[in-house]
Structure 1
Amino acid sequence: MTEAQHTQSLSFPRLVSVIIPARNAARMLPGQLEALSRQKYQGPWEVIVVDNGSTDGTAELARRWTGKVPRLEVISVARPGVNYARNAGAAASHGDFLAFCDADDVAAPNWLDAMVAAARTADVVGGHLELDALNTPRVRFTHSMLPPDRLPVIMDFLPYAVGANMGVRADVLTALGGFDPRYAHGGGDDVEFSLRAQLSSYSIAFAPDAVVHYRLRARSWSMAKQQFKHGRADIQLVCDFRAHGMPAEPVSVAAAEWWRLVRRLPDLVSRDRLLNWIRDAAYSAGRVAGNLRYRVWRPRPGVWPRRPT
């Protein structure tokens, strides 16, 4: 690194924009805003809450936090979809570094400090999702976990930053054209952006000290819906990135997985096993739906960690 680059790195960022997509989040959003009000970061920063078509008064509740978190701005985007909300938040921001978190999670006090430190040497940053604080042991048992010491890797291909704890330089986001709105309704939205950034020669890094306490889906129906969307989105990712080396395998592997699900039916004597079966079946059903929609062979099961639900 040259002396000029070193000086520029130390002066970055000029302003941090924390962007929170929020849809019907009136019950959970106060916890995240309270956590942001306790951040130890000493540099200038702003908070942008993007109300994504809520019907529960999310925007009105968020505005009550004016003066409690730095430079709060609340905007509304009628079209639902997390990537529409992220892009709208980025368009309304003034910072040269954008940090994204979710409305129903809780950022640790050092979160923003650690994100900024990592962003001085990387274009895209992903932090650590901590699962113990907001989830019961049973909920954690019935969900697939992400690695605690590195970014997850999808399909033995490339790592990605999870959207609930992600940062990106504003100029990089602009150069890439923002988040892909086709991935708008659950699953793949963060992965697609991370892959596209790396294939465009931008760097990505893990920030282990940028901790967000992550809330898993506790209800079986909610978990199943999200797993279905993840399975469908993973096929969309194969469709979009197969030409760049993302692997896909024959449908015979999918058939074998369905057979394993059938063979597990007699073992569903406990609630935990039943919830695990529902999770896996919903994810496999999503892959079938994705194959029917995008007409590609689905990826091999088990070679990448599912995003937490």
Structure 2
Amino acid sequence: MSTAAQGTLRPMPELVSVVIPARDAALVLPGQLEALSRQEYPGAWEVVVADNGSADGTADAAREWRPELPELRVVDAFARKGINHARNVGAAAARGDFLVFCDADDAATPGWLRAMAQASRTADLVGGYPEYFAVHNRQACSWRRPQPRDRLPEMMGYLPYAVGATLGVRTEVLRALGGFNEGYAGGGDDVEFCWRAQLASYALVFAPDAVMRYRVREQLWQAARQAYGYGRADPRLMRDFRAHGLPPASTRSALRAWYRIARRLPEAISPERSGSWWHGAAWRAGRLVGSVRHRVRCL
């Protein structure tokens, strides 16, 4: 049950643990750690980097930031590949009573941690706002549907969720839920956790001022591969949550979507529109494959 009483404010966390799952992130992790070193949060906090089997010196790259982030630790999450395994290992090593998860390749804005901690006074889970950015190919930001600016996103006509790149949860709540589901990888990992938490009567709130600069995939094949993973996870979510009220996917809507993709086929080679076409087509292809694998209809 939710630990947040209706209409009451709890004390600020005694210690916030920022957990960063990372694999082969030596080139991008310093950017996130630099951003964290500029946080305006006045309370006590630490950083835990969970190295998920890196072969590029990610752990060494993290340790170089100890002068700026003295409460930084690196933990070994080599046992199993997957972002949720790394999150669970990092959470187990964390000392804080409030856990905040972010990704290695993003960049927290200065007020991010403060806003996440403040929002934790009103709920069990907190979701910040992922603001898309690209380093070289700014057009890549348009390939994905923008996140809503006034609320948490929803999926499949069901419950809201916090994007894993800016997700906070009370430590006691994470433990009560048994952590993140390590069977999810490459998509649906954050959605499954947030849905499961809400079904267990834990409260999830949006922290609009907790802005995380979310780095999008800038190469077309990378963006398509990511979208395919997202689509492939949707049928698994359908399988796991349909008994809990997740509405069935509409086959008619799916057929209309595939028809639109076919009609827009010339956009696949358009310099201006190829990104959004491939993103949408890859996501739908992932749904087809996931539907076969998990034996559900989620086209």
> Into which bin does the TM-score normalised by the smaller protein fall?
over 0.9
> Letter of the aligned partner of 1:238 in structure 2?
M
Partner of 2:203: 203
Q: Deviations over 1:122-173 (max 9, x none)?
A: 1000001112475744111222211111100111211000000010000000
CA contact (8 A) 1:135 1:215 kept: no
Partner of 1:87: 88
CA contact (8 A) 2:134 2:218 kept: no
- Which deviates more, 129-138 or 22-31? 129-138
1:267 and 1:223, CA in 2 relative to 1: closer, same or farther beyond 3 A?
closer
**In 2, distance between residues paired with 1:238 and 1:130?**
28
- Which deviates more, 259-268 or 87-96? 259-268
Partner of 1:231: 231
CA shift at 1:64, angstroms? 1.3
Partner of 1:307: none
CA contact (8 A) 2:140 2:275 kept: no
Partner of 2:294: 294
CA contact (8 A) 2:133 2:215 kept: no
> Letter of the aligned partner of 2:175 in structure 1?
T
**Aligned length in residues:** 293
**For 1:12-91, what aligned pairs fall within 5 Å after superposition?**
12-78=12-78, 79-91=80-92
CA contact (8 A) 1:129 1:148 kept: no
SS at match of 1:272: coil
**For 1:35-184, what aligned pairs fall within 5 Å after superposition?**
35-78=35-78, 79-132=80-133, 134=135, 136-183=137-184
CA contact (8 A) 2:48 2:94 kept: yes
**In 2, distance between residues paired with 1:234 and 1:35?**
32
CA contact (8 A) 2:85 2:182 kept: yes
CA contact (8 A) 1:127 1:165 kept: yes
**In 2, distance between residues paired with 1:197 and 1:70?**
32
Structure 2 unaligned spans of 5+:
none
Partner of 1:303: none
CA contact (8 A) 1:18 1:45 kept: yes
> Letter of the aligned partner of 1:157 in structure 2?
Y
SS at match of 2:215: coil
> Letter of the aligned partner of 1:60 in structure 2?
D
CA shift at 1:271, angstroms? 1.5
- Which deviates more, 187-196 or 65-74? 65-74
CA shift at 1:72, angstroms? 0.8
Q: Deviations over 1:195-254 (max 9, x none)?
A: 000000000000011111110000011111110110010111011000111112354443
Q: Deviations over 1:234-292 (max 9, x none)?
A: 11101100011111235444333223222212344521222221111100110001100
**For 1:235-274, what aligned pairs fall within 5 Å after superposition?**
235-268=235-268, 270-274=270-274
Q: TM-score, normalised by structure 1?
A: 0.90
CA shift at 1:31, angstroms? 0.6
Q: TM-score, normalised by structure 2?
A: 0.93
> Letter of the aligned partner of 2:258 in structure 1?
W
> Letter of the aligned partner of 1:298 in structure 2?
C
SS at match of 2:193: helix
SS at match of 1:131: strand
SS at match of 2:273: helix
- Which deviates more, 258-267 or 77-86? 258-267
**In 2, distance between residues paired with 1:237 and 1:212?**
25
**In 2, distance between residues paired with 1:192 and 1:82?**
13
Identity of aligned residues (%): 54
> Letter of the aligned partner of 2:55 in structure 1?
T
Structure 1 unaligned spans of 5+:
300-309
SS at match of 1:214: strand
Root-mean-square deviation (CA), in Å? 1.7
> Letter of the aligned partner of 1:14 in structure 2?
E
1:268 and 1:178, CA in 2 relative to 1: closer, same or farther beyond 3 A?
closer
> Letter of the aligned partner of 1:96 in structure 2?
D
